[in-house]
Structure 1
Amino acid sequence: MPKIAKQLTAIEVKRLEKEGFHAVGTVSGLGLNITKEGTKSWVFRIAYGGQRRKMGLGSYPAVTLAQAIEGARRLKNEISTGVDPIQAKKTIKSTLIAERAKARTFEECANLFLATRSFNNKKHSKQWESTLKTYAYPFIGKMLVGDIGIANIKAVLDPIWKTKTETASRVQGRIKSIIDYAIVSGYRDKSNPAIWDGFLDSIYQSPKKLKVVEHMDSLPYSKLHDFILALRKHDTMSAKALEFLILTAVRSDSVRSATWSQIDLDKKVWTVPKAFTKTKKRDHTVPLSTQAIELLNNLERFEDTNLLFPSATLKKLSDSTISKLMRDMYTNKEFTDKAVPHGFRSTFRVWCLEQTTYSSELAELSMMHEVGDSVYKAYQRSDGLERRRTIMQDWSNFANSPYVAVKQNDKNVVSIQMAKSA
């Protein structure tokens, strides 16, 4: 053990200026170390575990002589009981760092989670951010993600579960995903309080039972031809995109994202990449009617974009642009029934049911819908392209022909007549 040096007073310690280690007595091995630059700090030299160790006790004069002596005595006592003070200090520091790493708020975790995700379109990304900002952040945004419990989840969902069921269900799912991310990232070590199965389902009624289905406003098929005529008076890219949407019965995003490289004019086929289908499972082939081909042949092509229907800035048309066109046409009394672009898929489906003898399966395939159970899908390898070519041509012919109302003869037999397009 080091020899006990002469015990220095606080005044004597203050007068020390020479570079090097100065033993201060009272506790053997305790001294004030002075660097070449004149900075002063307390050092405790001691031998244990077969090695000589140096432990810092703080800078001088922030740590006084009395405090340094007290610290040195405490360390000696720890060593006498078998504790390695340096290792203990490292453990405490590591624990502190780990605890600080866990100190993430829900909003911080949400931002980190969203940064790892790739969305198919900006609209979907904005929906995530908007719903979290509106419904979740006011209640749990600033909370440490590790502290969120069921009461906090209820605070978010209770006000909207019955009145905005679909939105509430999406918020619940998004909160769950973010907390799952926090758990695997080490920011939370408790279970996820936003889980539905076996947890929230015991508190809230299923969204399927609460949800009131609101169908998109659609145009009656009897008024489709008149709408087409009114639409063609608008010589705009959005009007052409809307007409192509009607003729193909495809979703708006697929039409707005369509490129010339997806079109085979010779085979009269449009191949929609799976990224722009609802299921995202496989590409979808759309048979193009003669009217659809004619529309494409009359489109202007631009050198700086491959899009079929680019905006004025040669970017992808926004969904709101096509919707606004229909709203303006309705406001200007160009047609009298409230309808939205997506509603033309419903118009097509009702026409198939009431005006044709085509099978329900063929109609669903034409709309990019999944058909049949898993066993059926395993054996159904064809997408029915050639059969769908007939139904889509009939649909285009119908859209381009004046509608003639149902006539009933004296034998009580209903016949449907449609004037042929010129």
Structure 2
Amino acid sequence: MPRISHNRLSARAVASLKDGVFADGGNLWLTVKGNTRAWSVRYTSPVTGKAREMGIGSTRTISLADARERAAVARKMIADGLDPIEVRQQERAAQKKETGLTFEQVALCYIKEQAPGWKDRRGEAIWQGSLRQHVFPVFGSKQVGSVDTDDVLKALRPIWTRLTETAQRLRGRIERILDYARSQGWREGENPARWKGHLATILPKPGAVTTVKHHAAVPCRDLPVIMQALQQSRGTAARAVQFVCLTAARSGEVRGAVWSEIDMQARMWSIPAERMKMKREHRVPLSDRAVAILQEMLPLRAAAKGDWLFPGQKAGRPLSDVALSKALHLAAGTKDVTVHGLRSTFRDWAAEETDYPREVAEMALAHAIGDKVEAAYRRGDLLEKRRALMDEWAAYCCGLHRNRP
């Protein structure tokens, strides 16, 4: 194939050529597409032997003469056995190191890049808030390449035993930010925030310095009385709390429920995967009392704006978590119980008062199945067994201790 002669283009041609790819010679090419006119150098890498193309800028900022000079520099590198793209990457990495970016600057850059992919929209604010409170005052102004184990410990030690869960999350965030900095060429060496084999040998295990706080549960023996009080209240929040209890669902799943998820004829509530903690669709068989609650809510459906099962006071909004808590506290006569704790009450009742296998109750709670034997039950969702279980649970909640056959 004959070589392309050098300097084939003119300044006038560069400005007037229509869409296409045009060679100037000497590895220099011009790509025209609409209003875009860009220079590039095409070559075979002396390192990998593969064809490569390196962009060198737009014609708006790089003249024909400048483009030819840059192409000449690239040809010299190739003749010396160097790949121009790799050389440019190395130069940029070195330049980044010389800029002396601080940990805070890198952290904010990392958050900005990652936040669009986070499911929780509050993630960006949460990350920034925790770092500004506990980390940036300690070593935020330090060059990211100089952050060491002592810096990380100065930030974590004051809260490791007092705010253990927060400290654990911060350690993980610091580790990810420093990994990001290393991938960008802004630091070298091991990550000083790494837990396994590093901080784990210095700080006490989180489980040894903190006590797990469980959601306060309603004692099984008190539940029928509380459910009766909720039924007498007849408010939307009180009905929602009853529905939470009767379905063993999470508060957020009930508050976010819409009528399109309900099949009254099949007596089924199908919660889509995106609303579930484990990101799997969950079917909930509805007992007589659960269906009755929905029938009580039907007259409000036409009046309410939106499709919520339990609409809030604000038009187009569901009930708040606070509203459910207040309804439960009023019915129970104490603030020492939580709506989420009703799931624990259900689990205790299923274990102590019934003979149903553990996996049936776990699946009713939509818990993750970790054991291989239990995981086999994931092939089905034990719907009929769960329906019988939920019917018995509803009877218990309503004070009807139905005997199983």
**Would the TM-score normalized by the shorter structure come out above 0.5?**
yes
What is the correspondence of 1:200-215 to structure 2 with a 5 Å cutoff? 200-215=199-214
Quote the Cα distance in structure 2 between the aligned partners of 1:107 and 1:139. 14
Greater Cα radius of gyration, structure 1 or 2: 1
Is 1:312 paired with 2:313?
yes
Quote the Cα distance in structure 2 between the aligned partners of 1:197 and 1:274. 33
Say how many residue pairs are matched. Answer: 311
Distance verdict in 2 for CA 1:93–1:128, change over 3 Å: closer
Which residue pairs with 1:61 in the alignment?
A: none
Unaligned 5+ runs, structure 1:
1-89, 403-417
Distance verdict in 2 for CA 1:94–1:185, change over 3 Å: closer
1:228 CA displacement:
1.4
The residue matched to 2:222 in structure 1 has which SS?
A: helix
Distance verdict in 2 for CA 1:179–1:220, change over 3 Å: same
1:378 CA displacement:
5.0
1:242 CA displacement:
1.6
What letter is aligned with 1:133?
R
Which residue pairs with 1:132 in the alignment?
A: 131
1:290 CA displacement:
1.5
Distance verdict in 2 for CA 1:214–1:129, change over 3 Å: same
Which residue pairs with 2:337 in the alignment?
A: 339
CA contact (8 A) 2:241 2:327 kept: no
Distance verdict in 2 for CA 1:93–1:395, change over 3 Å: closer
Which residue pairs with 1:167 in the alignment?
A: 166
- Over the residues paired in the alignment, what is the CA RMSD in angstroms? 3.1
> Per-residue CA shift, 1:254-301, capped at 9, x if unaligned?
112222222222222212222333323x21111111111111122121
What is the correspondence of 1:243-322 to structure 2 with a 5 Å cutoff? 243-280=242-279, 282-299=280-297, 300-301=300-301, 304-313=305-314, 314-322=316-324
Q: 2:346 aligns with which of 348, 354, 362?
A: 348
Higher helix share: 2
1:383 CA displacement:
1.0
Distance verdict in 2 for CA 1:401–1:376, change over 3 Å: closer
Distance verdict in 2 for CA 1:98–1:174, change over 3 Å: closer
CA contact (8 A) 2:97 2:187 kept: no
What letter is aligned with 2:319?
L
Quote the Cα distance in structure 2 between the aligned partners of 1:146 and 1:391. 58
Distance verdict in 2 for CA 1:357–1:323, change over 3 Å: same
What letter is aligned with 2:257?
A
CA contact (8 A) 2:286 2:390 kept: yes
1:129 CA displacement:
4.2
The residue matched to 1:258 in structure 2 has which SS?
A: coil
> Per-residue CA shift, 1:198-230, capped at 9, x if unaligned?
111111122233332222111111111211122
1:95 CA displacement:
7.4
Quote the Cα distance in structure 2 between the aligned partners of 1:94 and 1:114. 21
The residue matched to 1:158 in structure 2 has which SS?
A: helix
Fraction of identical pairs, as percent: 33
The residue matched to 1:270 in structure 2 has which SS?
A: strand
Which residue pairs with 2:389 in the alignment?
A: 391
Which residue pairs with 2:367 in the alignment?
A: 369
Quote the Cα distance in structure 2 between the aligned partners of 1:103 and 1:287. 56
Quote the Cα distance in structure 2 between the aligned partners of 1:148 and 1:202. 19
Which residue pairs with 1:188 in the alignment?
A: 187
When the two structures are superposed, what TM-score results if normalisation uses the length of structure 1?
0.65
What is the correspondence of 1:12-31 to structure 2 with a 5 Å cutoff? none
What is the correspondence of 1:52-131 to structure 2 with a 5 Å cutoff? 97-99=95-97, 103-106=101-104, 109-110=107-108, 112-113=110-111, 116-117=114-115, 118-121=117-120, 127-131=126-130
When the two structures are superposed, what TM-score results if normalisation uses the length of structure 2?
0.68
CA contact (8 A) 1:113 1:181 kept: no
